[in-house]
Amino acid sequence: MASAVARTLDSCAPRDPETSTMTIPGRACLPPLCLLALLAAACGGPDPEPVAAASTAATRGASLAASPNPVLEGATFHLAGCGFAASLPVTLTDTAPGGSTTSFGGVADASGCLAVDHAAGYAPGAHTVAATQLLKRNQSTLVAQASLSVSPAPLAATSEQYTFRWDATKGCVSEDDALSWSAAGYLAPGQSYTFTPRYPDCNDPRAVMVHVAAETGASLRISTVVPAADGNSNDPGQAGMAIHADTRSGVAQLCMFPNTSGIGSAGYAITITNVGTTTANAITVSGKDTNDWPYYYWADCLAADADHDGWSDSLEHAMAQLVYPTGNYLYGATPAGSNYLRSCGTPQANDEFDFWPPDLDDDGVVTQADVALVSAHVGEGNGIPWSAITPDPNLPQSFWSHVGAWNRFDLNADGVVDAKDVAIVQGLLGARCAP
């Protein structure tokens, strides 16, 4: 009996949470439950279980299973199980084959059972879903885990979201409206996926951007047909041009700037094709359709080059936009440009809208005449990088305060024409445009 009393005292006495040292309460301070336990032990009754043991036992042998299993990438699966600590939150962590994790959660019901639906990620292979709860001493405790097999799914749209500022019933995307969309999955060699927006663009200059990412060795191509000219390049032939971008190290970026002002509406389609010889897995695609201000497209189109001339679409299109309002878009000796969709023109100097940034007299070759043109404008500019331009007219870096013919000579887009721009042209002396 003495040993039973000792064990009871040991289980009832409070302990210091940091040292686990037991402190025996003084007389008349024993909690009622401990007094009852002492009486039971003294009378030969069974030893009581520690208070914490009940909650621990409730979590032992907790079950967790996923269905369907396997599940396709992006599809919803169901997790269910029992034996959890009742009415407490459960944190679920999905660990993918590469070690990346995604966390979500639920709450066990009054009977200790859990049921949660969740979308599978885009990482095919064997996953482990671990379930934890905050139990004794508020510590995260692994309660159960389940295996989940995620199978590759063909590339397909996962979202298509529109934001209409003024009128959501007009049936097209125009000023201050926006579209964002995404797709994910795999493509076997020769397979394609095409996304066609539900609503066309209308009565507004737009920036359309598509980013594709996949495995490093994947060979994918983004392609489209430009629905309308940009309105800044004096080139109506831009409408109907087929453009494409291929992945490099698993990444590709395609941009275009259709201006539907005055022509009503124009739709487009974006196609992603596996042009390689092996299946491309874990493809993710993100697309945007926004207002055509540098503020919205600059970062996204820095890696895009629709005419494959080695110059960023962000730089070429912004250059055309910033020069166009000056009137320099007319044919003649005054440089204007650059056309983001054409890499070459005629061999005659100063007869067309410029198409290649370092060739300022548009004769198809970089010469001392181009060096002289840039040098004549050294010192011009406002010192504000193009990446900082904003549509807000109340700010010093607003688009309209940045407009000027000097932008045609700012080849590194840092907001000023200086020796660095001259050096860019000098470094390309003798180079010819590539059709």
* For residue 154, cis peptide bond before it (omega within 30 degrees of 0): no
Nearest Cα neighbor of 287 from 203, 218, 198 is 198
Nearest Cα neighbor of 64 from 34, 103, 93 is 93
Q: Within a 10 A sphere around the Cβ of 276, how many other Cβ atoms? A: 18
pLDDT tens across the length of the chain (435 residues): 444 444 444 444 444 443 343 444 444 444 444 444 444 444 444 443 333 333 333 345 799 999 999 999 889 999 999 999 999 999 999 999 989 999 999 999 999 999 999 999 888 899 999 999 999 899 999 999 999 999 989 999 999 999 999 888 889 999 999 999 999 999 999 999 999 999 999 999 999 999 999 999 999 999 999 999 999 888 999 999 999 999 999 999 999 999 999 898 999 999 999 999 999 988 999 999 999 999 999 999 999 999 999 999 999 999 999 998 766 544 444 678 899 999 998 899 888 889 999 999 999 999 999 999 999 999 999 999 999 999 999 999 999 999 999 999 999 999 999 999 999 999 999 999 998
Residue found by looking up tokens 């932008």 in the block: 407
Residue 215's SS3 state is coil
What pLDDT, on a 0 to 100 scale, did the predictor assign at position 29? 42
Nearest Cα neighbor of 413 from 303, 290, 322, 327 is 322
Specify whether the CB–CB gap between 274 and 219 falls below 8 A. yes
DSSP for 223-263, please give it.
Answer: EEE--S--SSSS-GGGTT-EEEEE-BTTEEEEEE--B-TTT
366/360 Cα distance (integer angstroms): 8
Element (H, E) at 206: strand 206-213
Structural domains present in the chain: 2-48 (no CATH), 57-151 (2.60.40.1930), 154-292 (2.60.120.380), 310-435 (no CATH)
Specify whether the CB–CB gap between 278 and 182 falls below 8 A. no
107/133 Cα distance (integer angstroms): 10
**Which residue type does 215 have?**
E
